[in-house]
Amino acid sequence: MDQWLLIFEFINFFCGCNLNFQYFLCSKLYRVQAKVLQDKEEKVTVEDSFQPKSFPDDEGKGNSGELLESSSSSLLERWTIKVEQSVNILLTESVVKILDTLYNDRYYARFFVLETIARVPYFAFVSVLHLYESIGWWRKADYLQVHFAESWNEMHHLLIMEELGGNALWFDRFLAQHIAVFYYFMIVFMYILSPRMAYHFSECVEKHAFTTYDKFVMVQGDELKKLPAPEVAVKYYMEGNLYLFDEFQTDRAPQSRRPKIENLYDVFINIRDDEAEHCKTMKACQTPGNLRSPHSC
User: What number of residues does the chain have?
Assistant: 297
| Structural contact between residues 146 and 291, judged by C-beta atoms closer than 8 angstroms | yes
What are the beta bridge partners of residue 290?
A: 43
Interface of this chain with Fe ion, residues 173 to 212, rule: CB under 5 A:
206
Q: Does 283 bind Fe ion (CB under 5 A)?
A: no
Binding residue for Fe ion, selected from 196, 200, 278, 280, defined by CB under 5 A: 278
In whole angstroms, how close is the CB of 142 to Fe ion at the nearest point?
A: 19
The DSSP letter of residue 236 is: I
In whole angstroms, how close is the CB of 95 to Fe ion at the nearest point?
A: 15
Q: How far apart are CA 277 and CA 203, in angstroms?
A: 10
For residue 139, give the H/E element and its range: none
In angstroms, how far is CA 16 from the centroid of its own chain?
24
Interface of this chain with Fe ion, residues 76 to 95, rule: CB under 5 A:
none
Those residues with Cβ within 8 angstroms of residue 180's Cβ, 6 or more apart along the chain or in another chain: 116, 117, 120
Query: What string marks each residue from 94 to 133 as x (binds Fe ion by CB under 5 A) or -?
Result: ---------------------x--x---------------
Nearest to Fe ion of 56, 136 (CB atom): 56
DSSP letters, 143-166, are HHHHHHHHHHHHHHHHHHHHHTTT
Nearest to Fe ion of 120, 197 (CB atom): 120
Candidate segments 184-192, 243-251, 256-264, 276-284, binder of Fe ion by CB under 5 A = 276-284
In angstroms, how far is CA 106 from the centroid of its own chain?
24
Q: Does 154 bind Fe ion (CB under 5 A)?
A: yes
Those residues with Cβ within 8 angstroms of residue 29's Cβ, 6 or more apart along the chain or in another chain: 137, 138
Interface of this chain with Fe ion, residues 23 to 62, rule: CB under 5 A:
none
Those residues with Cβ within 8 angstroms of residue 296's Cβ, 6 or more apart along the chain or in another chain: 142, 145
Binding residue for Fe ion, selected from 157, 200, 272, 280, defined by CB under 5 A: 157
Nearest to Fe ion of 41, 93 (CB atom): 93
Nearest to Fe ion of 77, 206 (CB atom): 206
Nearest to Fe ion of 125, 137 (CB atom): 125
In whole angstroms, how close is the CB of 19 to Fe ion at the nearest point?
A: 25
In the complex, the residues that contact Fe ion under the rule CB under 5 A are: 115, 118, 154, 157, 206, 275, 278
